[in-house]
Structure 1
Amino acid sequence: MEAVDRYDASLRGEGRFRLLVDAITDYAIYMLSPEGYVTSWNSGAQRFKGYRASEILGQHFSRFYLDADREAGLPARALKIAATEGRFEGEGWRQRKDGTRFWAHVIIDPIRDASGELIGFAKITRDLTERKAAENALKRSEEQFRLLVQGVSDYAIYMLDPEGNVASWNSGAERIKGYASEEIIGRHFSTFYTDEERLGGLPQRALATASRDGRFEREGWRVRKDGSRFWAHIVIDVIKDDFGEIIGFAKITRDITEKMETQRALERTREELFQAQKMEAIGQLTGGIAHDFNNLLMAVLGSLEILKKRMPQDLALSPLVDNAILGAQRGAALTQRMLAFSRRQELQVERIDVSELLRGMMDMVSRSLGPIASLETEFPENLPTIATDPNQLETAVLNLVVNARDAMPGGGLIRIKATEEVVSGGDAMPAGHYVRLAVTDHGEGMDEETLKQAVTPFFTTKGVGKGTGLGLSMVQGLAGQSGGRLILKSRLGEGTTAELWFPLTGAENTVEEPEQSVPEAASSRPLRILAVDDDGLVLMNTVLMLEDLGHTVIEAMAGAQALDILRNENVDLVISDHAMPRMTGSQLALAIRSEWPEMPIILATGFAEIPEGSGIIDIPRLGKPFSQAQLAEAISRVAQ
C-alpha cells in the first residue's frame, strides 16, 4: 500500500513539473532523444518557433538551424559537446516555422539514467533578437562615433584613465601632437606639458580640478613630439560610471597658435594705430605751438637786434641785450626741435656723403664728450649718398652722442658706425637700399617701458634742467622727413644702440634745389617792399628791420589787402608770411604771379607746410625766426 502511495505521489510531482514547464512562454524548453529528435514541446517553444507539438514531435531539432549551419554540421557538434563535456552553450541565428530568423541563446544539457546511460538531452532556447538588435544598434552607434572622433583632424580628442594615462588617440591628436597611437597610448598625458608646468604640478592640478568640478578648461603652451611648442586650448571632462565612480577623463585639445598670433598682430596693429594717432595729435599741437612761438621769437629777436644797434655802447647794458638775444636764439633752437618732431620743419635737403660729413664733425663731437668717455668710429670710404639736411643731421648725431655719454655716468666707449644695408622687407624697414648710421653705448640701457616712451615728446630720464625730452623726437622727425626711420635697441644694463636709416639717393628721389641767381654783392639799393603778415608783432618787427636797412615798407595783414595795394602802389618786392587765414602765402604768391609775373617774392615760414604741386617751388623762402642779416641776404638774392 505504501509503495502505491509513493508511485501516485511521484506521478503527481511529474504532472506538476510538466505543468510548470509548459506554462513558461519566454523560453523554449523541450527534450531531445539521444539522436536529436524532439520528444517534448512547451508553450514557449511553440510561441517563438511557431510549431505546434503535433507538428514538431519526432522531428530532428536541426530544422531550427540555418542551411549553412546544418551543412557545417553545427547541430551534431552541439550534441557531441553536450554529451562529452556535460553542457553546450552558444548564441546564433535560428529560424522559425515561417522562415523568419531570430537570435537565440541555446543551452543543451545531457540527460542520463541512474546507470549513467545517455537517454536524451534537455534543450533551452531564448529569443534574444531584440537584445541583439539593441546591441547591434549600440555597436553601430559606437562605430559611427569612433569614426567621427577619428575623422576629426582639427581637434585632439582622446581618453585618459583615472591616473592620467592616454587610453585612446584620434587622428587630430596625431596631427597636432605628432605621436602615432602606438607611441603614446599608455603614457601619461603630462608628456605634452612644458618642463616648467610639469615641475609646477599643473597636469595633476588639472585632473584634480576636473575630478572636483567636473571640468577643467585652460589655454597654455604645449609641446609636440619634435619639441616645438604650440598654444593650446584644453578642456578636460571627468567620466563617471552609474555609481559615480571616476573611470577616466575625456580630453580635447585645439591648436590655436595661429589664432593667438593673429590676435596679437591685431593688438599690435591697434596699439600702433593708437600710438600713431597720439603722435599725430601731439605733432599737430607741437607744430602749432612752435609756429606761434616762432612768431613771438621773431618779434623778440628782431627788436633786440634793432635795440642793440641803436642803443649807446654801454658796458653795463650790452651784456644784458646779448644774453636776451642768446636766450631767444636758444628758444628758436627749441622750436626747431619741436618742428622737426612734428615734421613741419623746413629742411634744406642736399646730397650728403655721410662718411665725409661725420669725419668733419668728429672734433666737435669729441669736445662734447668730455674726458670720461672715449669715441670709436667706423666710416667706409665709398658709402652711397643720401638726401637730407646736413645741419640737422649733424645736430641729430651730436644729440645721440650726448645721450650715449649721459647713459654712462662712469665713462665708457661710444661707437659710431656707418654701413650700407639692403633690406628685403619686414616690420622694421620697408624693402630697399639704405645707409645705416648707428651710435652705440654700453651704459645703463632701457627697460621695455622706457624704450616704448623714449621718442615721446617731452619724455626724458635725465634730471630737471638737463634735457627737454625733444632730442630723440627731433631725430625721429628728421629721419621721417628724409624718408627713413629711427630705430632704438636697448636692454636694461646692456646699453643702447640708436640707428638712423636713410634711403639712398637716386634719380627718382633726389631732391633738386631750385637754382637761384646770387649777385656778386648784396644790393644796397633802397626798395619799396610790401610786407605781409597776419601777426601784428611780427609785421611790426619786420617793418623795423626793413626800414633800418633803408627800405620803404608798405604793410598788409592779409592776402587780399596785399593784392589791393599792389594794384595801386609801385612795389619792388613782396615779403609774405605763409601761414595766414583765408589766403595763405603760397596762394598769394600764385595770385601775384598771375598778374605781375616778374614781381620778386620771398615766403617767410617757420615750417614746411607748403603743399606739393602748388607751383611755387621756385620761390625763395626765409625761415622763421630770421635775423636782420638773414633778411638782408634774402633780399639781395632776389632784388636785381
Structure 2
Amino acid sequence: MGELIRSHDWSGSPLGHPDTWPPCLRSTVSLLLGSRFPMFVGFGPELGFVYNDSYAEILGDKHPAALGGRFQDIWSEIWPDIVPLIERAMAGEATWSENLPLTLNRHGYDEPTWFTFSYSPVRDEEDRVAGMFCACTETTGRVQAEAALRENEARLRFLDRLGKEAANSLDADAILATTTRMLAEHLGLSNCAYADMDPDEDGFTIRGDWAAEGSPSIVGHYSLADFGRRAVEDLGAGRPLVIHDNLAELEPGEAATFQAIGIAATICMPLVKDGRLTALMAIHDRVPRTWTDHELALLGEVTERSWAHIERVRAVAALREAVADLEALNLTLEQRVEERTSRLFETEEVLRQSQKLEAVGQLTGGVAHDFNNLLTIIRSSVDFLLRPDLPEARRSRYLHAVSETVERASKLTSQLLAFARRQTLQPVTIDVGARLHALADLLDTVTGARITVVTELPERPCFIEVDVSQFETALVNMAVNARDAMDGEGTLTLRLACGSSLPPIRGHAGSPGPFAAISLGDTGSGIPPDLQARVFEPFFTTKEVGKGTGLGLSQVFGFAKQSGGDVTFESTPSLGTTFTLYLPQVAAMASSGEPVVEAAEVEPGGAGQRVLVVEDNIEVGRFATQILHDLGYETTWATNAEEALNKLGPSGAEFDVVFSDVVMPGMGGVALAKLLRDEFPDLPVVLASGYSHVLARDGTHGFELLSKPYSADQVSRVLRRVVRAKRRVSPEPMS
C-alpha cells in the first residue's frame, strides 16, 4: 500500500497530494501502514479514505479504486448503518462495536458479514477533530460457525428426543404421528405431513398430518402435477421441493393448489428407495417463510431416521408374522414353503441393515462418551486457570492436566483411525527379533512385578516393514489385555516364529507368506466362547466403567490389516489366551533400516528464520503464527496454496521453510509440497494434519509430517531439523 500511495493519482481525491497532507494525517497513515491489523483513516470533511494491506483484503473488488475516495461512496450500502457511529467519532467520542452485522457488496453481490471495530477521532495540531481512525477485524467466520454449532446442537437434542419418543412405539403410523407433531411444534409450523407415492409416482396419498390450531388437515389423495412443474421435476429427481412464498415463486394456477389447502411456504422431502420415489415428508407454514439450511437439513435427517425406524418395526413384525406362518404351514406344501423362505431372506436383509445402524450408533456413542469426558477435564481446568488468584502450584497442576488430557484425546483419535485402517503409517524395515528383545523390559514394566515375562526368540534375524510406533502400541495393547486377564499375576510368553504362513482367519483365505508370527500368551482366565466373536469390536470391553475404552484390541486389528497382515487368537477358559500378530516378512536391507536420530542441537528457537505458514483455518493459522513468533521465527501467513505460491515469488528465496496444512480447499498440502519440491528443491516443506485420506492411502511422499494436535516443542524440533538438513546440503558460497 505504501508503493500504491506513492504511485497513486491524487488529483481527484478530496485529500489532495500526500505532499500537502497535514502532520496528523501523515502520522496516522504511517501508523496504519506499519500494522498487520486491518486499519483505515477517513480524513477531512469528505472523509477521504486511506487504508493498509490487511484492510485491502476486506475491501475485495473495491480495492484499489477505494484509495483516496470518499468514505460514503466506498461503503454506500452500509452507510445508513454506520453513519451514527461516524458522527459520534467526528464529535470527539470513540466508539466500539462487537460482531456488528453488516450486509456488504464487495464482490458484486450482497453478503452477510460481521465485524468488530472501533472508530476514534483524529485531531489536528490545534486539537480539532479532523477525521476518524478505524481498527477492525472481520468475525464473519466465527459468528457463522458459532451459529451453526448452536443449530447443530439444537438439532441433535431434538433428534435424540424424537428417538426416546419414537422408540416406544411398534406401529408405523404411530411413529409418523409422533414425528409430525414434534417436528411441527419444534419449528413452529402450521402443518407437518407424510405421504405414500402411488406406484406410477404421478400421485400421492397423505395418510396423516399434524395441523396447528386454525389450520386445516390436508389428509387425502393428490396429483403431483397439480402442484406445478417444480414439484414434478424436483421430487421426481429425488431433490427436496423448497418454496418460500408460492404466490411470488409459482404460476397463479400452481400457487392456487397450495393456497386451497392453507399453505404459503413448504419444504417437501422425497424418500427414494431402490431408485423409486417411495414416500414424502413435508413441513408447511400458512404464511411466507424463508426456510433455513438448518430446517432443510433437519427435515432430511428426520425423514431418513423415521423411515429407518419404520423399516425396523416392519421387519420385526414381518419376522413375527413369518415365524407364525411357518409354524402353521403344511410341510407337504412345497410352494408355500418356498414363498415364506423368500420372505425370510428379505426380512433378514432388512435386519442386517438395522444391525449396521446399531453398530454405527454404538461407535458414535462410545466416541461421544470418551471425548466428552476428556473435554470435561479440559474445560474445568481452564475455568480454574482463568482465576487470577489461583496459587502457582495449582496452576501448574491444572496446566499439566490439560496437556495430559490433550495427549489422551490424540491417542483416542489415533486408535480410532487404526481400527478404521485410516491412520497415516510411516513404515521402516526393522529386525523384529531385536525389536522384541528391546521391548521385553517395557512389557515387564507394563505388566507388573507379579507377572513373569518369558521371551522365545530365534537367533537368526527376521525383517518386517512396519510403522514402529504403531507396532509397539499394538504389542503394549495386547500385553495390557493379557495383564488384566491374569489379574496381575501369572506368566506372559512373548514368542516369534519366522517364515510362517498366514492361516485362514475369520473366513478369509490364508497365504503361504512368509510372515513373522508374533504371539503373546497368558495364563489368565481365558475368553468365554460367547464373547470371542466381539473381541475386536471398538468400545467392546468386559472391564468396569472407567477401567478401559475397548479400543486396545481394535487398534491391534486395524494396525495388522493396514500393514498387510492379520491377527487371531486361541483361548481356553481357565487356561489362558494367546494372541498372534501376523506381519509380512521382507528381505534384509543393506543397513538396519532403523531411522538415524541425530543428537538435538541446543538452540533457543527460530533465530529469525523465515517461515511461510499455509493454513486455511483462521483459528489454527493464528495459533501457528503466534507460537512461531514466540519461538523466534519470522512468519508470513497464506490461507491457501495459491496465495502461498504468490507469496513465494519466482525463487522462494525469502523463506527458509514452508509449514503447510494438508487438507485445504483447492490445491491440498501434499500437491503444494510436491510442486515446491520440483520448483524449489532447496526449500524444505513440513506438513501438518489431523487426518487426511490422501496420507492414509499414499503415505507422506517423503515429507516431514506433524500430526495434530501438535505442541510448540514438536513444531520447533521439526523446523530446526529440516532447516539444519537444508544447511548441510546447500553449497558453500564462493569467495
| Alignment TM-score, normalising by the size of structure 1 | 0.49
Larger radius of gyration: 1
* Structure ranking higher on relative contact order (CA contacts 8 Å, 6+ apart): 1
| Alignment TM-score, normalising by the size of structure 2 | 0.43
